[in-house]
């Protein structure tokens, strides 16, 4: 990679020209309105951050079944689509580019979060550890329903329809959430997938669901407007694989044939490193395997972001908490300006109740001040 490649150099992402390599990472904020419909504060929040080379939205439900948290947005109803169109128009008016992250929680759910009290679903009837917020207070997760083949095909169609709805809402592309122990990840890793049919057992079978989802979504968008996020070293929600390097090496190599917009790789967090031995650093392990664009994510600063770009282990770098607290993060990086500190107490909102607090009220940099 050229020595002058840095966070401020432009990048050609398929047919999209990114003015910089600073990506806004997807971050769950739990500030959608009733029925998972985006509200005006969501449009303000994303348009404030339109100077990013690329914005990737928070995880967004592809169906009622996919829900695992309260106050999350969806992309399966006409009202949700129209709500998101307000967001994309606001971002585009500011000259930005925005991908929608498509999401199915799988077993990270509870009957209290399902439309008719059904069990959450997963490749196998193995519960994750932990509790979730529900309308009835905190509840421990329970054993999910193991999906039948017909139900798997229906979920693939839900991804396809969500991809169509994202086009209608005028996004620039979509990212599949294959990380953090949600449904795609549950199929991939053998700690959560004990199936003995065509979707379980060998890594070729465990990757089948993901590859069929990618094919369905790419049929709507074309591969170069589709990304996918992985977290090979994530230990949250009881996730474990007996051979993660082989599992993710096979999967990432198999994705080369789709000519995707990118793969988005998460480095382990401190909690992951403290829990057990995990792959680290992730990007440099899988960079030689993947032929396309790679986004690195996980605690990067301006300095470490420039370093991974210069080393050639990533093409773009995504920032989460620092973008949450600094709507003008690219400008602050460029000017070496001080950064606002994120307030963890306001990371997650309560629907339409004071959604601006800790969301749209972080100040922009003022040189004079």
* Under 8 Å between Cβ of 144 and 132: no
182 belongs to the catalytic site: yes
| String of DSSP letters for 192-233 | T----STTSSSHHHHTHHHHHHHHHHHHHH-GGGEEEEE-TT
Residue in 182, 262, 359, 362 annotated catalytic: 182
- C-alpha torsion angle, residues 214, 177, 260, 147 (rounded to 10): -10
Residue 194 to residues 186, 189, 197, 244: CA-CA distances in angstroms? 10, 9, 9, 16
Structure tokens at 193: 């997938």
Residues forming a β-bridge with 318: 23, 297
Whose structure tokens read 């990304």? 227
Q: How far apart are CA 228 and CA 294, in angstroms?
A: 10
Q: Catalytic residue numbers?
A: 182
């Amino acid at each position: 990679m050229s020595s002058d490649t840095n966070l401020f150099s432009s990048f050609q992402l398929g047919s999209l020209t990114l003015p910089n390599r600073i990506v806004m990472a997807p971050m769950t904020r739990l500030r959608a309105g009733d029925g998972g419909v985006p509200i005006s504060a969501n449009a303000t929040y994303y348009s404030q951050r339109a100077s990013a080379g690329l914005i990737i939205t928070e995880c967004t439900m592809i169906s009622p079944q996919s829900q695992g948290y309260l106050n999350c947005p969806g992309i399966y109803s006409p009202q949700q689509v129209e709500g998101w169109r307000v967001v994309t128009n606001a971002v585009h008016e500011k000259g930005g580019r925005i991908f929608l992250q498509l999401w199915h929680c799988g077993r990270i759910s509870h009957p209290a979060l399902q439309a008719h009290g059904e069990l959450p679903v997963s490749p196998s009837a193995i519960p994750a550890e932990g509790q979730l917020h529900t309308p009835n207070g905190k509840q421990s997760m329970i054993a999910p329903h193991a999906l039948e083949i017909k139900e798997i095909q229906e979920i693939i169609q839900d991804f396809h329809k969500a991809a169509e709805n994202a086009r209608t809402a005028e996004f620039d592309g979509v990212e599949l959430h294959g990380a953090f122990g949600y449904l795609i990840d549950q199929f991939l890793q053998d700690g959560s997938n004990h199936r003995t049919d065509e979707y379980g057992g060998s890594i070729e079978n465990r990757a089948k669901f993901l590859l069929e989802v990618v094919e369905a979504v790419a049929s709507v968008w074309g591969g170069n407007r589709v990304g996918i996020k992985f977290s090979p070293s994530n230990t949250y929600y009881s996730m474990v694989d007996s051979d993660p390097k082989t599992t993710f090496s096979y999967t990432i190599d198999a994705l080369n044939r789709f000519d995707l917009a990118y793969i988005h790789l998460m480095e382990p967090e401190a909690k992951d490193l403290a829990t057990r031995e995990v792959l680290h650093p992730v990007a440099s392990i899988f960079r030689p395997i993947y032929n396309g664009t790679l986004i690195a994510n996980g605690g990067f600063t301006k300095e470490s972001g420039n370093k991974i770009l210069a080393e050639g282990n990533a093409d773009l770098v995504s920032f989460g908490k620092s973008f949450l607290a600094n709507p003008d993060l690219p400008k602050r990086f460029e000017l070496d300006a001080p950064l606002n500190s994120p307030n963890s107490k306001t990371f997650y909102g309560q629907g339409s109740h004071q959604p601006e607090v800790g969301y749209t009220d972080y100040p922009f940099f003022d040189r004079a001040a």
